Chains A and B, each alone.
Chain A
């Protein structure tokens, strides 16, 4: 415990040192400039031998900008570390609040040292650097199925809800300014258009804030996707309204034609953004088809194409956020089918890393920008704004839900409505939009900024902190943690086909019919273009099954060698319990039946294609200068091993009286990994390790014999079939039998090379084009 607090102190000390360094970095510039010029004169006069050679020199100016940027990012990351070290803090206060407080502190320190606080939340920086990673992360991992199922609801909330909020807040604010205050006060000079513009800025629900808060409360999928989807899609509305009102207040006159054009521009912005995103997504998918020889740069294509989509949309004033979401969502199923396992992991990790850092930085900068000001506090304006925002949101949600529930199958209850209304958080986008306002057109810019910041603080602090206990109090349904089972997958597909069939029988072309048509179109034409090779024909069910097998195999390795297979439901049922048992089975018949040559050939071919496909997925990382990861080599063999593990375990539990030792928890495995210097050594081609090379050329190959013999004694009872198992027609009893101990060593070695601990299960990535 003492060590922990000491470490915390060190972290905070480091943090503060860095901030002071940032603050005082400006002071160095005159000195370095001076020394720079000094050096110049030095070079000019060679024959002036009196000068000493500068052994140690200080030249900060060259590295100033990257240095400062790195300092900020480092500060953000250290803060993130620090919070999770403090034991109970992260349960009470959401991370976003803490980060804003840190920003405030940093801003305070900088101001305290007498420096001017740098305007860190520059709009360009925010919109082009900080925001895209977060949105891309959200779009790439967007759960498509719930999103599409609730698309109507989301769109209504995003479009109509935001419009309502903007006009309500803007209009009433104008009314209050005109009526409620004296005519000489500054407020009465704010025009209607300015108020409406302010309303449109403040009314948009912010995806960054929503993500930050909702991620910690683990609410059920429906509510999460509703609020989150709304925060993403309302960007189009915000962009249009912002430009519209900005233009109008610049010109000063509003005509009906301009209003009409505004409505049209909304459609252009939204649909155009999506179109741009889809185009780039298809390009990315197509490119990924040819990357089988340059696996290392595959993730780069994903990031580049997405960023280009965002920037291209921004060129035409289209909705960049929608472009990014569309690009990520469209490219994902195809790219994932094409790229290697490692690239997939890389993409996942880079996106999570960037979005995490971005989010942290955004909140810190919000804090700093608050200290920086400039502020103009006006009690009336600010309080009225806050109240109006809340009221508008509640009325909007309740009213819209009333209409929406008429069309929904699964109605939204009052509890749901409350959470949706309460989850309407504002964030940095509003601030940046406010920051962008032109000072000449908007003399009241400071008032706006102060009010925006107050609303942000209110929503993030008050609503963010209290939403978790409220969720508990109202007993809102939480996210279901259990994994998707194979039965549910089978029945999902079955139900899809069934409903499509019934719709066809009814003659009713409902959305199942069109979804099915789209899926068939996708399978027939699109997949062939965008997915390389054999993978394009793999049906979703099989892909799901392989993925599940792989996950189970990884679990097997992580749990320390398969002593106890971790499964969702602890049970002792195994394969032999479900195989149909023939009526009589005399002992001699328990030998493996002789297979005809043809059948054997058939089985071999099927196994070869199946196993090769699995292998293809794994063996795709072949940068020749780097070490081949032995973990991947052994993985496909684990498929075969796993089923044998069931038998071993069963036998052990039945016949041994000593209980098997409990496996190491994954954290222990990782700890062992971390301290093991040998973690990435090349696996020697030793023949002690029972490499089960499924050499299908001959059933009598020594390796296949190894496999069988190893478990031969343990496995008395014959099973008829075991899926991906090869059964040679005869079982010669000779050849080496690797012992249990080698088995364990093999497992250990595989575990050591486990390169991918990583964040907790995030299972919603499975799915086809239209899952």
Chain B
């Protein structure tokens, strides 16, 4: 369970929620599509989907919803909360897992718990989609090389006729071990007051 955000921050988020949903109770996908700044983002589709993904609501749910309430909005946002100053190693580990789980869910679009080569290729293609030129072949190469690397790191030794199914969550954790995600995947404005511990 992730620790909830502070009341001050919730107030700010609530205001934003109301603004996005035009004072309705729930947010839908088209509300997100109205945000102009998102238009330039190559992975906007995935980001929007992440808000409607039940796996990110911390209730062990699966599948997608069509609209979300404020509570779910806050829960998704809480994934980007910075680590508080007095975390133990265990708490830090938990935060890491949570954030990496969020990323994993973004990649694993078909909910089967594995990122297959196709899904990974899709990720790289989306990343390069704004580059202007259609780089499908190179995107494939890059995804292939990346997959090869994951397989080498996670499994190590494979016979020529064995087949690597895809990246499981454990492999994903191992892959981004050195990535220091708990200090990088943060939105600073959710960190308005580090000295007080939020209850």
Contacts and interface: CB of A to CB of B under 8 A. Distances in A.
A541 B176 contact: no
A6 interface: no
A410 B188 CA distance: 12
A578 B80 contact: no
Contact of A409 (B32, B138, B145, B183): B183
Contacts of A510: 187-189
- Tell me the dominant secondary structure on chain A's binding face: helix
Contact of B127 (A497, A548, A610): A497
B30 interface: no
Interface in B114-152: 116-118, 123-124, 127-128, 131-133, 135-138, 140-142, 144-152
Interface residues of B, number: 72
Most chain A CB inside 10 Å of its own CB: which residue of B20, B47, B83, B162? B47
A576 B160 contact: yes
Contacts, number: 184
Contacts of A717: 160
Interface string A576-589: 11111100000000
Interface in A609-636: 610
Main secondary structure of the interface of B (DSSP, over half): helix
A591 interface: no
Contacts of A538: 131
A486 interface: yes
A494 interface: yes
Interface stretch (A70-78, A88-96, A203-211, A566-574): A566-574
B138 A545 contact: yes
A411 B85 contact: yes
Interface in A638-687: 650, 654
Interface stretch (A26-34, A416-424, A498-506, A704-712): A498-506
Contacts of B178: 480, 482, 488
Interface residues of A, number: 65
Interface of B: 13, 16, 19-20, 32, 35, 37-38, 40-44, 47, 77, 80, 82-83, 85, 103, 106, 116-118, 123-124, 127-128, 131-133, 135-138, 140-142, 144-153, 155-160, 162-164, 175-176, 178-179, 181, 183-189, 191, 194-195
B158 A571 contact: yes
Contacts of A482: 178
Interface in A397-454: 406, 409-411
B38 A578 contact: no
A575 interface: yes
A724 B141 contact: yes
Given A504-B37, A512-B187, 18 more contacts: A409-B188, A409-B191, A487-B175, A490-B127, A498-B43, A501-B43, A502-B77, A502-B80, A504-B35, A537-B132, A542-B135, A545-B141, A569-B153, A571-B151, A571-B155, A573-B148, A573-B157, A717-B160
- 3 tightest CB-CB pairs across the interface, nearest first? A723-B141, A539-B131, A571-B152
A240 B135 CA distance: 52
Contacts of B189: 503, 506, 508, 510
A224 interface: no
Contacts of A542: 128, 131, 135, 138, 142
Given A497-B127, A510-B187, A510-B189, A654 B137 contact: no
A216 to B, nearest CB: 24
Contact of A569 (B38, B142, B152): B152
B179 A491 contact: yes
22 contacts: A485-B149, A490-B123, A494-B43, A494-B123, A495-B184, A499-B185, A504-B35, A507-B16, A513-B37, A539-B128, A539-B131, A542-B131, A542-B138, A545-B141, A571-B151, A573-B157, A578-B144, A606-B136, A606-B137, A607-B137, A610-B138, A654-B160
